[in-house]
Every structure is written in C-alpha cells, then in structure tokens.
Amino acid sequence: MRTVFSRPEKFHMYYKETIRQMNDIGIGSLVIICLIAVFIGAVTAVQFSYQLSGGLVPRYYIGYVVRDIVIIELAPTFTCLVLAGKVGSNMAAEIGGMRQKEHIDAMEIMGVNTATFLILPKVIAAVTVIPLLVAIAAFVGNAGGYIATVPTGLLTSEEYIQGLRAFFIDFNVVMMFVKGLVFSFILTTVSCYQGYFVKGGSIELGQASTAAVVYSSILILLFDYLIAIVLTQ
C-alpha cells in the first residue's frame, strides 16, 4: 500500500485511467445494482408486512423499518458484496493477466511504478463511485418497498410515505456512506493484491479471482460488524 500511494509519474495518465475505471465500475454496475436493490426493498417490505399483520403495530411502521434497514445495512452491504463478485474478480483477472503475460515486468523495466499505475486509479475510482451506487441502491430499495406494498394493497401510499418520513435519523445516512467507503476500499485493494501477486498459469489466475471474491466478502462482513459496533455505541 505504501508503494501504491507514492507520487505518480504523470498525473494526466492517472486521470484518464481513473475516469475509465469510474465508468467501468459505476455505469457498468448500475443496472445490476438497481435490479438487486428493488427486489431487496420489495422482499423486505413484504416480509415485515407479514410480521406486523397482527394489528398491534401501526401499518406505517413497515415503511419506517424498510427505510432504516435498507439505508443502514442492506444497501451498503449487498451492493458491495455484489461488486466484490463483479468488479473485484474482474480487477484480479485483469492485473493477474498482465502479470502472467509479463506486461508488468516490461513496465517496471521502463521505470513505471506499476503498483501505483495499475492500482491507485482503481482505488480512487472505487471510493468515489461505489458510495454513489450505495446511495442509489438505498433510494431504489425504498422505491421497491413502495412498489411491493402500495399497488398490491398491503399499504396505502400515504401510510408508506408516512413511514419513510417517521423517526428519521440523519446519522444513519452517515453510517451508510462510511460503510460504502470502507467496503469499496476493501474490495478494490484485496482484489488488486490477489491479481498483482498471482503466479503460475490460467488455473492459478482463476484461483486468484475466486480468492479475491471470497476474501473481499469475508472482510466486508467483518468490517460491517465492526463499523456497526463502533458507530452505534
């Protein structure tokens, strides 16, 4: 990591690569993130509607619970777990392929700081774009809860919107973005590490891509727990 964050040689080269990575990570993942988020919100709303069907709790609490659980937990965690599989494995395979074809060795002979050039733009792009994807996922998840409850008659539109606006705590949004930043840094650095130090042939490259997804997912869940403990005390 010390090598990755050393001074770049030519800033315009890093800028172009960072923009390309932001496009690949952000625009390339937008559809799958929205698709997953809308179903997560819908399923969460239906499940809580079923649990609160006894009549003791006001119906608008469904919108309140869906909003908080999507913002605090489901949007950042599920988004980054999906991106660990989609983006992380791609990063490991891309850098690992360059290592196997000796492109990295050739760049080092030319005097290029390969760790900085190959990894730093990915890290910057990820910590910039992924929190935005998390915010979009939170919005779409709440919209999915609306779609699953209002048109089907489980709630009225006024009840669901009342739940979304009830007992709102600003700090929950801060927690969501903190998780998005930490998770994006984890999935990027772990995946790039696995690809940068891969050895062997195509079998080892496949193993490195799998390891990138597995290790990233485990660390994301671990830091999800740690962040929840630290920020909710």
Domain layout of the chain by residue ranges: 11-231
DSSP letters of 16-54?
HHHHHHHIIIIIHHHHHHHHHHHHHHHHHHHHHHHHTTT
Ordered per-residue pLDDT tens for the chain, 233 residues = 777 777 666 777 778 888 988 998 888 889 999 999 999 999 998 888 887 776 677 888 888 889 999 999 999 999 999 999 889 988 999 899 888 888 888 887 887 778 888 888 899 999 999 999 999 999 999 999 999 988 888 888 888 888 888 888 889 999 999 999 999 999 999 999 998 888 878 888 888 899 999 999 999 999 999 999 998 87
Q: Show the tokens assigned to 34.
A: 């929205």
For residue 120, the tally of other CB atoms under 10 A from its CB is: 21
As a whole number of angstroms, the distance between CA 175 and CA 179 comes to 6
pTM, entire model = 0.88
Q: Show the tokens assigned to 2.
A: 């010390």
For residue 143, the tally of other CB atoms under 10 A from its CB is: 16
